[in-house]
Amino acid sequence: MKHITPIILFVLIFCSNKEKVTEVIDGDTFKTEQGKTVRLLGINAPELDEPGGDIAKEFLKTLILDKKVQLKKDVTEKDDYGRYLCYVYLDGKFINEEMLRTGLAETKFYPPDTLYKKVMQEVEKIAIRNKKGLWSFPVFQIPDTTGIFIKEKPSKTIAQEVISYLDANKYIGKVKTVEGTVVLTNNTGKVCFLNFHKDWKRHFTAVIFASDFDKFPKNPEDYYLNRKIRVTGLIKEYKGKPEIIVKSPSQIEIIK
């Protein structure tokens, strides 16, 4: 028997790892006939109860439902919910990237699973610039110019319009500057929550994901705690309460 090189062995294993998709749960999650629940790595689509969630799901269905796809993992095999974390391919098409290219998902990476981070961020950048898919509507928080992305600066009118965190629920789907004092924080390692009220389940929260931690001061949960701040961004509703996803420290102004 001829010797098989590691590269050839990898290709053989990878190409044989095909599973049929039997159900699409939402725009970034599906099930296979082997009983696996698979989460697309490096992307985040809107939840089904959020604007655009149904569109993202239907598009993913047209791509992969009832078809055999190839699954490739990064470093982590499963997430905390038991879902397999995978890069997904179908007939040479990179499905994770396709969701970004069409503007139906945004990038979201958690170390150490960052193999295709730069490539996928470039695809997202083009979708944002061309206002593809959900980028045409206030669904995703547009990344800041401090990163690799191009963003139009908000007008002075928007920048000067400051609202209290207690009124944030009135402006879901709008870009606003929310003011308040961070009274409670929590960093799970994957996400940092800056809460403006001790009853955090009902009131406004600023959210920083681990994929953006390197842009912020070390231990943001301590840095912003007990400080009065203004947070500018797209106000979204999550589990019945308003929040802004903060992708750059330039979105946060500390009021001295």
The residue behind tokens 């098409």 is 93
pLDDT at 197 over 90: yes
Q: What was the pLDDT predicted at 131?
A: 92
Q: Tell me: domain 156-254, CATH 3.40.1010.10, correct?
A: no
Q: What was the pLDDT predicted at 256?
A: 81
Look at 12-16, 227-231, 240-244 and tell me which has the smallest mean pLDDT.
12-16
- Give the residue ranges of DSSP H helices in the chain: 6-16, 53-64, 95-101, 117-129, 156-160, 220-223
CA 40, 80, 38: angle at the middle one, nearest 5? 25
Task: Reply yes or no on whether 33 is catalytic.
Answer: no
Task: Reply yes or no on whether 47 is catalytic.
Answer: yes
**Which of 47, 50, 58, 221 is labelled catalytic?**
47
Q: What was the pLDDT predicted at 160?
A: 56
Average pLDDT of the chain to the nearest whole number = 88
**Which of 83, 98, 101, 106 is labelled catalytic?**
83
Q: What was the pLDDT predicted at 173?
A: 87
Distance in Å from the first CA to the final CA of the chain: 73
If you average pLDDT over residues 93-108, what whole number do you get?
97
If you average pLDDT over residues 102-110, what whole number do you get?
94
pLDDT at 88 over 80: yes
pLDDT at 28 over 50: yes
Task: Reply yes or no on whether 227 is catalytic.
Answer: no
For 177-187, how does the pLDDT look when each residue is reduced to its tens digit (9 = 90+)?
A: 999 999 999 99
Locate CATH 2.40.50.90 in the chain: 6-136
Contacts of 3 (CB under 8 A, 6+ apart): none
The residue behind tokens 């009983």 is 35
Q: Tell me: domain 6-136, CATH 3.60.15.10, correct?
A: no
**pLDDT band (50, 70, 90) for residue 42:** very high
pLDDT at 252 over 80: yes
pTM (whole model) above 0.85:
no
Locate CATH 2.40.50.140 in the chain: 156-254
Indicate the DSSP class of residue 78: B
Q: What was the pLDDT predicted at 111?
A: 87
pLDDT at 3 over 60: no
**Which of 39, 106, 124, 179 is labelled catalytic?**
39
